[in-house]
């Protein structure tokens, strides 16, 4: 079945239907209609999947998707236009440019924590770039998967974009097929399997993975504001966000204050009993619920810690004096547990971060420019927000993606379009000025070589670096050497 | 001789120390590479001549000067490239500093190929150094003399703490690939590329694959046959056809073919004389094994040899050879030729030619020769390939501004000029927020309300042309 889907899509893609910009814009507009007309259905599905409330759904999923669609529709002509490049003397009369082209059939594998954004944002780029696409929503967010399978063919060209649902066997079957690009969001472990499957067909991949995103709080900062922002980013979607601050690094002297401020903020956000707050989500399923609870084992609970298996509810929890060897520090938490690990200052924090895998996001809170500069220049990560969390994700002009274990490739806004396009180098020449070409043809003569070199190195930048007399000297000198042995 | 693991540990220690970060260090290393080329040009030319009988003319033009150009271009522009690029913001982030930082990846592995043994190692290395990485170079063991020379010269000119050459064959490469790198840059064949990609998957290492394929050359319509023949012959027989972007085969009508052949003969004669084997400007096949493969293809081909066909095993020589009446099923059409053999297939229409190319794997380069701009445009619009050049061959890869790379079976990723720098960099999205405007942030905090949501929506929508305003409920 999966093979048939891909074969059919390839045939439709090859018909050229997705090439005209008008077609792509039409599909994008249809996608926008899907989101706006069926918003209530989407919210309902998310409520059933994650107990997500409507506000969160809009803020964390729908607004980003809408913005991406509107941006793509408005700017697509610009994005798809050939981009001229600088020429040298040899190509002075030619047209040289980079032409973005569709890749073909792309596979988009989504994940369950933001089931709509993780599928539709890449899909926007795939459509804008002129590709056909297979979309494979996560079976863990089953209501959203079912709804997506129902709605997409009602709005989009169902021959060009298809939804395949199912679990591991269906995904494995899909991965045996040949795609022109695979866009995967999920865990590093499965990311390796996706890349391995892609290797068989030499298929390029974009992997949006995870990791432990550290959050360093400098003692020189507005701790109250820092804690509010961190609390927001950590406990939204019940901590099930790939760029949620995973753990806090701070000096021991401010740990108590941090706990106090988080406590105040939690009360403000979710009131005394987060379980009954309409704004607090649940864990996706019992397997993850059990996994997250087990992480608390060795830890000292500073705040929260309550749970309810029947609802997959875990209270917003802060753990203090966590040691690096604890289990909770060995894997991405992906839940509402916030460990605090104490360090003696910035250098130790930087070292702590650098001895671990490169994270998807890194956060630093400080009023001291030197601290911020050191964090930026002495560490690496997919992205960074300073003095806040999550926000770099929301700006579509910033490329969003991981590095090392946290992923490869990037997207959002124009970056998705670029990621899912082939940038074809084009040189359009005429037959004129054939005499210029004489310099490169055999048989070798000193004069020919010199002429060929001058024409090929016509870049202004080249001449800027090497003063002309030196350049000429080098050329004459090297020519002399060339011909010694001939 | 240090073992592979020790070399890697040394490089990792050097990278962690931060020594490759300052622009001054990178420029010094690039300038040292320039000196390496200037000081040792004779030895380099001799080595390549030993490996491939590479004519000095070709070696200078396509190897040394390509690298020198890239070096100059990179040295001139590096400081600019290293600057963070500021991006547009929306209302919610108006007061923030939002930019993209280019950061080094760490330790990169560069695996070269034998056909341009200098350029295919040093060009990627330029990008790796410029981007602040450490690097392990694995030159091809097939171009033995160049491999040996690189192993001797690189440690003499470049920092031994940061860059190392590891020599060896398939076994050593396999062992090397078990290690973890931060990027692997490979030039070579598709079959080896699959193994490399699989090894990279184990560590989630990103790769750049510069592969090959059959680069078609479509000749159609009204055309300056004499110039076309010269350019085609030059591009095809350069390096004895052993270029990943050499026109692999020609598609044209029977009439075009009949007009083309005499001009091709004339061009060949003017380039290499009446006996190319005597010309200093004609290259040789790299090894006996490769020569055997090509001769075998010629023997099994059902096409008719109309130019060349001579060969000499002792010197690994094959004459510039052109065959006509080659069919789709011919042995010459089943694999990348990578030698001085040019099959001409006849087509009846432009459509037929385009469909023929589209039924095959996407090539690294695609060529269209025609004086009719409509023909060129049609071919460009209806096909895909790594790069495209009309009315010439190979030269599109000499422009620093153009990215050089494949698509589909011909590869992934690209390089040259600034593209090399970008390939070996991580583009880190950074947002620096202030402490003020916490009042605006309040809009996003629970308890959630509808009116907060609509304000947020308004503040976070990117203002684009065509969109008059924002919706406030």
B268 → chain A, closest CA residue: A442
Of B56, B400, B447, the CB nearest to A482: B56
What is the phi/psi pair of residue A224, to 5°? -65, -50
B53 or A338: whose pLDDT is higher? A338
Residues of B in contact with A441 (CB under 8 A): 230, 234, 270-271
Inter-chain contact A55–B462, Cβ cutoff 8 Å?
no
Give the residue from A78, A358, A464, A279 showing the smallest Cα distance to B449: A279
What was the pLDDT predicted at A467? 39
| d(CA A141, nearest CA chain B) in Å | 23
| d(CA B296, nearest CA chain A) in Å | 28
A358 → chain B, closest CA residue: B105
Of B77, B96, B204, the CB nearest to A195: B204
Inter-chain contact A59–B223, Cβ cutoff 8 Å?
no
Inter-chain contact B431–A404, Cβ cutoff 8 Å?
no
What was the pLDDT predicted at A55? 78
Give the residue from B386, B424, B403 showing the smallest Cα distance to B124: B424
Residues of A marked active site are found at 208
Angle separating helix axes B350-358 and B373-382, nearest 10 degrees: 30
Average pLDDT over residues B329-337: 97
What is the rounded CA–CA span in Å between residue A114 and residue A66?
Answer: 15
Inter-chain contact B69–A70, Cβ cutoff 8 Å?
no
Counting one residue from chain A and one from chain B, the pairs whose CB atoms sit within 8 A come to 337
Report the residue of B181, B204, B215 to disrupt the A interface, i.e. the one with the largest count of A CBs within 10 Å.
Answer: B204
B363 → chain A, closest CA residue: A424
Of B73, B93, B426, the CB nearest to A395: B93
Of B61, B227, B388, the CB nearest to A434: B227
Q: pLDDT of B313-327, one tens digit each?
A: 999 999 999 999 999
What was the pLDDT predicted at B457? 77
Residues of B in contact with A232 (CB under 8 A): 441, 444-446
| d(CA B318, nearest CA chain A) in Å | 17
Inter-chain contact B399–A91, Cβ cutoff 8 Å?
yes
What was the pLDDT predicted at A206? 98
Residues of B in contact with A43 (CB under 8 A): none
B361 DSSP assignment: P
Residues of A in contact with B96 (CB under 8 A): 391
| d(CA A298, nearest CA chain B) in Å | 30
Spell out the SS3 assignment of chain A. Answer: CHHHHHHHHHHHHHCCCCCCHHHHHHHHHHHHHHHHHCHHHHHHHHHHHHCCCHHHHHHHHHHHHHHHHHHHHHHHHHHHCCEECCCCHHHCCCEEEEEEEECCEEEEECCCCCCCHHHHHHHHHHHHCCCEEEEECCCCCHHHHHHHHHHHHHHCCCCCEEECCCCHHHHHHHHHCCCCEEEEECCHHHHHHHHHHHHHCCCCEEEECCCCCEEEECCCCCHHHHHHHHHHHHHHHHHCCCCCCCEEEECHHHHHHHHHHHHHHHHHHHCCCHHHCCCCCCCCCHHHHHHHHHHCCCCEEEECCCEEHHHCEECCEEEECCCCCCHHHCCCCCCCEEEEEECCCHHHHHHHHHCCCCCCEEEEECCCHHHHHHHHHHCCCCEEEECCCCHHHHCCCCCECCCHHHEECCECCHHHHHHCEEEEEEEECCCCCHHHHHHHCCCCCHHHHHHHHHHHCCCHHHHHHCCHHHHHHHHHHHHHHHHHCC
Inter-chain contact B462–A67, Cβ cutoff 8 Å?
yes
Q: pLDDT of B378-399, one tens digit each?
A: 999 999 999 999 999 999 998 9
What was the pLDDT predicted at A449? 67
Give this prediction's pTM.
0.93
A87 → chain B, closest CA residue: B399
| d(CA A155, nearest CA chain B) in Å | 23
Inter-chain contact B389–A423, Cβ cutoff 8 Å?
no
Of A56, A180, A376, the CB nearest to B408: A180
Percent share of chain B, pLDDT over 70: 97
Q: Which two tokens stand for residue A251?
A: 């000096």
Contact B73, B88 (CB under 8 A): no
B360 DSSP assignment: S
Residues of B marked active site are found at 210, 244
Contact A284, A334 (CB under 8 A): no
Inter-chain contact B441–A229, Cβ cutoff 8 Å?
yes
How many Cα neighbours within 13 Å face the side chain of A464?
Answer: 9
Whose tokens are 């030196």? That residue is A470
Inter-chain contact A63–B426, Cβ cutoff 8 Å?
no
Residues of A in contact with B280 (CB under 8 A): 443-444, 486
| d(CA A408, nearest CA chain B) in Å | 6
Q: pLDDT of B436-469, one tens digit each?
A: 777 778 888 988 888 888 887 777 765 554 333 2
Inter-chain contact A425–B279, Cβ cutoff 8 Å?
no
What was the pLDDT predicted at A484? 35
Is the per-residue pLDDT at B244 higher than 90? Answer: yes
Contacts of B208 (CB under 8 A, 6+ apart): B124, B183, B184, B185, B186, B405, B411, B412, B413, B414, B415, B423
Of B206, B397, B429, the CB nearest to A383: B429
What was the pLDDT predicted at B92? 79
What was the pLDDT predicted at A461? 37
- Model ipTM over 0.85: yes
Percent share of chain B, pLDDT over 90: 86
| Ranges of chain A with pLDDT below 70 | 446, 449, 451-486
Three-class secondary structure of residue B40 per DSSP: coil
What was the pLDDT predicted at A455? 60
A57 → chain B, closest CA residue: B453
What was the pLDDT predicted at A456? 56
Question: For all residues of chain B together, what is the average pLDDT?
Answer: 93
What was the pLDDT predicted at B94? 82
Is the per-residue pLDDT at B409 higher than 90? Answer: yes
Question: For all residues of chain A together, what is the average pLDDT?
Answer: 91
| d(CA B464, nearest CA chain A) in Å | 7
Inter-chain contact A98–B89, Cβ cutoff 8 Å?
no
Average pLDDT over residues B261-267: 97
What was the pLDDT predicted at B28? 98
Inter-chain contact B41–A410, Cβ cutoff 8 Å?
no
Is the per-residue pLDDT at B298 higher than 60? Answer: yes
């Amino acid at each position: 079945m999966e093979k048939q889907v891909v074969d059919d899509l390839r045939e439709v893609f090859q018909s050229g239907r997705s090439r005209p910009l008008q077609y792509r814009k039409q599909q994008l507009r249809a996608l926008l209609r899907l989101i706006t007309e069926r918003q209530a259905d989407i919210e309902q599905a998310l409520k059933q999947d994650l107990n997500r409330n409507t506000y969160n759904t809009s803020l964390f999923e729908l607004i980003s998707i809408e913005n991406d669609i509107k941006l793509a529709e408005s700017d697509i002509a610009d994005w798809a236009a050939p981009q001229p490049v600088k020429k040298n003397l040899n190509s002075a009369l030619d047209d040289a440019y980079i032409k973005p082209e569709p890749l073909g059939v792309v596979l988009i594998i989504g994940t369950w924590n933001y089931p709509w954004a993780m599928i539709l944002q890449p899909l926007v780029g795939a459509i804008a770039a002129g590709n056909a696409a297979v979309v494979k929503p996560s079976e863990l967010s089953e209501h959203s998967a079912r709804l997506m399978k129902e709605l997409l063919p009602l709005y989009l060209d169902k021959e060009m974009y298809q939804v395949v649902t199912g679990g591991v066997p269906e995904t494995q079957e899909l991965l045996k097929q040949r795609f022109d690009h695979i866009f995967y969001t999920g865990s590093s472990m499965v990311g390796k399997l996706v890349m391995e499957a892609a290797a068989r067909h030499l298929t390029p991949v974009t992997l949006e993975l995870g990791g432990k995103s550290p959050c360093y709080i400098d003692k020189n900062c507005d701790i109250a504001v820092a804690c509010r922002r961190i609390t927001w980013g950590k406990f939204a979607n019940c901590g099930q966000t790939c760029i949620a601050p995973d753990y806090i690094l701070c000096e021991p002297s401010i740990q108590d204050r941090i706990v106090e401020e988080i406590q105040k903020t939690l009360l403000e956000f979710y009131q005394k009993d987060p379980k009954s707050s309409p704004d607090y989500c649940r864990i996706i399923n019992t397997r993850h619920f059990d996994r997250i609870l087990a992480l608390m084992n060795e830890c000292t609970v500073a705040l929260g810690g309550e749970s309810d298996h029947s609802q997959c509810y875990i209270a917003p929890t802060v753990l203090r004096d966590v040691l690096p060897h604890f289990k909770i520090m060995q894997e991405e938490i992906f839940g509402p547990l916030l460990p605090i690990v104490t360090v003696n200052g910035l250098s130790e924090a930087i070292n702590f971060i650098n001895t671990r895998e490169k994270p998807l996001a890194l956060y630093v809170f400080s009023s001291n420019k030197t601290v911020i500069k050191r964090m930026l220049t002495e560490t690496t990560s997919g992205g960074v927000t300073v003095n806040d969390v999550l926000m770099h994700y929301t700006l579509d002009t910033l490329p969003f993606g991981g590095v090392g274990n946290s992923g490869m490739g990037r997207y959002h806004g124009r970056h998705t379009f670029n990621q899912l396009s082939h940038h074809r180098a084009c040189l359009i020449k005429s037959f004129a000025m054939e005499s210029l070409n004489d310099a490169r043809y055999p048989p070798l003569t000193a004069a020919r070589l010199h002429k060929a070199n001058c024409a090929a190195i016509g870049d202004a930048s080249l001449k800027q670096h090497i003063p002309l007399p030196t350049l000429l000297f080098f050329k004459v000198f090297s020519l002399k050497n060339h011909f010694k042995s001939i | 001789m240090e073992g592979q693991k020790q070399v890697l540990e040394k490089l990792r220690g050097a990278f962690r120390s931060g020594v490759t970060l300052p622009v001054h260090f990178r420029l010094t290393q690039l300038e040292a590479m320039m000196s390496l080329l200037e000081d040792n040009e004779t030895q380099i030319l001799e080595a390549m001549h030993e490996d491939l009988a590479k004519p000095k003319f070709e070696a200078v033009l396509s190897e040394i000067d390509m690298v020198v150009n890239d070096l100059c271009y990179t040295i001139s522009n590096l400081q600019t490239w290293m600057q963070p690029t500021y991006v547009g913001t929306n209302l919610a982030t108006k007061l923030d500093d939002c930019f993209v930082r280019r950061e080094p990846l760490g330790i990169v592995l560069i695996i070269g190929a034998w056909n341009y043994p200098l350029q295919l190692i040093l060009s990627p290395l330029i990008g790796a150094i410029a981007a602040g990485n450490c690097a392990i170079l694995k030159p091809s063991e097939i171009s033995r003399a160049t491999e040996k020379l690189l192993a001797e010269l690189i440690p003499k000119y470049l920092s031994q703490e940061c860059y190392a050459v590891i020599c060896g064959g398939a076994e050593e490469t396999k062992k090397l690939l078990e290690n973890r790198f931060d990027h692997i840059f490979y030039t070579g064949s598709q079959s080896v590329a699959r193994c490399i990609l699989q090894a990279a998957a184990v560590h989630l290492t990103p790769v750049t694959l510069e592969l090959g394929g059959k680069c078609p050359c479509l000749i159609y319509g009204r055309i300056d046959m004499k110039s076309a023949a010269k350019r085609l012959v030059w591009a095809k027989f350069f390096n004895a056809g052993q270029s990943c972007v050499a026109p692999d085969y020609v598609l044209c009508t029977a009439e075009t073919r009949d007009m083309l052949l005499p001009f091709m003969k004339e061009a060949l004669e003017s380039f290499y004389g009446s006996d190319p084997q005597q010309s200093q400007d004609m290259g040789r096949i790299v090894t006996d094994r490769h020569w055997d493969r090509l001769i075998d293809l010629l023997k099994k081909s059902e096409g008719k040899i109309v130019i060349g066909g001579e060969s000499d095993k002792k010197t690994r020589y094959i004459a510039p050879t052109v065959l006509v009446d080659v069919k789709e099923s011919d042995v010459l059409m089943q694999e990348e030729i990578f030698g001085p053999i040019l099959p001409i297939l006849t087509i009846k229409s432009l459509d037929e030619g385009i469909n023929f190319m589209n039924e095959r794997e996407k090539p690294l380069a695609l060529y269209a020769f025609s004086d009719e701009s409509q023909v060129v445009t049609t071919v460009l619009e209806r096909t895909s390939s790594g790069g495209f050049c009309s009315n010439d061959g190979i030269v599109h890869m000499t422009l620093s501004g153009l990215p050089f790379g494949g698509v589909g079976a011909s590869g992934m990723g690209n390089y040259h000029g600034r593209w090399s720098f970008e390939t070996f960099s991580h583009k880190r999205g950074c947002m620096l927020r202030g402490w003020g405007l916490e009042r605006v942030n309040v809009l996003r905090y629970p308890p959630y309300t509808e009116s907060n949501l609509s304000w947020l929506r308004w503040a976070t929508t990117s203002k684009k042309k065509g969109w008059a305003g924002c919706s406030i409920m």
